[in-house]
Chain A
Amino acid sequence: MNQKIKELKKIANKIRKLIIQMISRAGSGHPGGSLSSTEIITCLFFEVMRHNPKDPHWPDRDRFHLSKGHTCPALYAALALCGYFPKEELWTLRKLGSILQGHPDRRTPGVDVASGSLGQGLSVAVGMALAARLDKKDYRVYCLMGDGEIQEGNIWEAAMSAAHFKLDNLCGIVDYNRFQIDGRVEEVMNLEPLVNKWEAFGWHVISCDGHNIEELLEAFDEAKSIKQKPTVIIAHTVKGKGVSFMEHVVDFHGRAPNEEETKIALEELEKIGKLLEEKDEEF
Chain B
Amino acid sequence: MKNSEEYLYTRDIYGETLIELGKKDPDIVVLDADLSSSTRTAKFGKVFPERFFNFGVAEQNMFATAAGLASCGKTVFVSTFAMFATTRALDQIRNTICYNDFNVKIVATHAGITVGEDGSSHQALEDIGVLRCIPNIKIVVPCDAWEAKEAVLAAYNIKGPFYVRLGRARVPTVKEKKKFVFGKGYILQEGKDIAILACGIMVYFSLKAAQILRKKGIEVTVVNLHTIKPLDEELVVEMAKKHKALFVCEEHQVIGGLYSAVCEVLAAHYPKKVMSIAVKNRFGQSGTPSELLKEYGLTPEDIVNRVEETLQD
Contacts and interface: CB of A to CB of B under 8 A. Distances in A.
Of listed B65, B67, B69, residue having the most chain A CB within 10 A? B65
A165 B73 CA distance: 20
B173 to A, nearest CB: 36
B96 interface: yes
Main SS class of interface, A: helix
Main SS class of interface, B: helix
Q: Which 5 A-B pairs have the closest CB atoms?
A: A127-B68, A123-B64, A131-B72, A157-B61, A124-B68
A98 B73 CA distance: 26
Interface of B: 29, 50-51, 53, 55-56, 58, 60-74, 91-92, 94-96, 99-100
B51 A124 contact: no
A19 interface: no
B61 A124 contact: no
A31 to B, nearest CB: 24
Interface in A22-74: 59, 63, 65
B50 A124 contact: no
A137 to B, nearest CB: 9
Interface in A80-136: 106, 112-117, 119-121, 123-132, 134-135
Contacts of B94: 117
Contacts of B95: 114, 116-117, 120
Contacts of A59: 73
A153 B60 contact: yes
B60 A124 contact: no
B99 A114 contact: yes
A127 B67 contact: yes
Contact of B64 (A63, A116, A127, A165): A127
B87 to A, nearest CB: 15
B29 A126 contact: no
Contacts of A164: 56
B71 A112 contact: yes
A134 B74 contact: yes
Given A113-B100, A114-B100, A154-B92, A124 B74 contact: no
Of listed A63, A117, A124, residue having the most chain B CB within 10 A? A124
A59 B71 CA distance: 11
A131 B68 CA distance: 8
A128 B99 CA distance: 18
A235 interface: no
B72 A120 contact: no
23 contacts: A114-B99, A114-B100, A117-B94, A117-B96, A120-B92, A121-B64, A123-B61, A123-B62, A123-B63, A123-B65, A123-B92, A124-B65, A125-B68, A127-B66, A127-B67, A127-B71, A129-B68, A130-B69, A131-B68, A134-B51, A160-B58, A161-B58, A165-B53
Contacts of A120: 60, 64, 67, 91-92, 95-96
Given A128-B71, A164-B56, 5 more contacts: A117-B95, A124-B65, A126-B65, A154-B60, A157-B58
Given A114-B100, A120-B96, A134-B29, A127 B55 contact: no
A114 B96 contact: yes
Nearest to B29: A134
Nearest to A165: B53
